[in-house]
Structure 1
């Protein structure tokens, strides 16, 4: 592996992107859950 992907910076960016992806999937779930609760209530 060569280029920007190699080294600790690449690992760090990969970790950050994974966290961002998790956050991006968790936030909409919470938002839809709130909307469903509002519709029911």
Structure 2
């Protein structure tokens, strides 16, 4: 959680309450293939 907050805000000194963490979830997505459309 601290790494994510540092990435988005630049701050490193985050503290989190137990209640705040209980309401938080994380998902890790592993991308194996990606496609897109090109606009010209």
Higher-helix-fraction structure: 1
Q: Same fold (TM over 0.5)?
A: no
Higher Rg of the two aligned structures: 1
TM-score, length basis structure 1: 0.21
